Chains A and B, each alone.
Chain A
Amino acid sequence: AQSVTQLDSQVPVFEEAPVELRCNYSSSVSVYLFWYVQYPNQGLQLLLKYLSGSTLVESINGFEAEFNKSQTSFHLRKPSVHISDTAEYFCAVSHSTYNTDKLIFGTGTRLQVFP
């Protein structure tokens, strides 16, 4: 069975500081990995995804995540955060070859950016 662990439930950070949101997964098979962002009172939005190829994936708003197979991690990073990045961030995994429909979500990390 697959599982996702987001070690930090909350991450407070000052504006323009770097941030890393940690995500570790457990799976005995190949997986696809995703980061979703949820702004207050809104649905989830896909931030970035890893399917195959380059282990470093980037989003259009400056976030990046690196797939590390040996450490079974997919940490999300941004070198300089903005107030507008304040949101809930969810890491998710799905199987890459069968039962690919199901996304398993982590419990989420609340990123709070202070001025």
Chain B
Amino acid sequence: GAVVSQHPSWVICKSGTSVKIECRSLDFQATTMFWYRQFPKQSLMLMATSNEGSKATYEQGVEKDKFLINHASLTLSTLTVTSAHPEDSSFYICSAQGVYNEQFFGPGTRLTVL
């Protein structure tokens, strides 16, 4: 149980375009999901906390207008990188929160902005 999927797994886009990444909890409902960003050989940096039916809570330094998060159902959260630029290239990982605060992670989405 506790499987989290992400789609797409890899995306390449042109600078200035927007990219949407989906995060789904496949066999459980998650009122809270998290979005992380991971640079090569570094740890995960929490970007925002996504709560079903309400606005996301962003960490300090993360632009909420650039990284749009929508958590419309108990099994789906989306992250949209708007007007992407090369510096947005990274590995984006989502997680869904379990009953005991453990987080179940998706496999990640590698974004490359040309």
B43-A103 in contact (CB<8A): no
A63 contacts B by Cβ under 8 Å: no
B42 contacts A by Cβ under 8 Å: yes
Residues of chain B lying within 8 A (CB to CB) of residue A46: 102-105
| Chain B positions 31 through 43: 1 when the CB is less than 8 Å from some CB of chain A, otherwise 0 | 0101000000111
B8 contacts A by Cβ under 8 Å: no
A107 contacts B by Cβ under 8 Å: yes
With A32-B101, A42-B108, A46-B102 in contact, is A105–B43 under 8 Å at CB? Answer: yes
With A34-B102, A43-B105, A44-B105 in contact, is A101–B44 under 8 Å at CB? Answer: no
Prevailing SS type, chain B contact patch: strand
| Chain A positions 34 through 47: 1 when the CB is less than 8 Å from some CB of chain B, otherwise 0 | 10100001111110
B44-A105 in contact (CB<8A): yes
A101-B32 in contact (CB<8A): yes
Closest 7 CB pairs of A and B: A44-B105, A43-B107, A43-B105, A43-B108, A105-B43, A107-B43, A100-B101
A43-B106 in contact (CB<8A): yes
Cα of A43 to Cα of B32 in the assembled complex, Å: 18
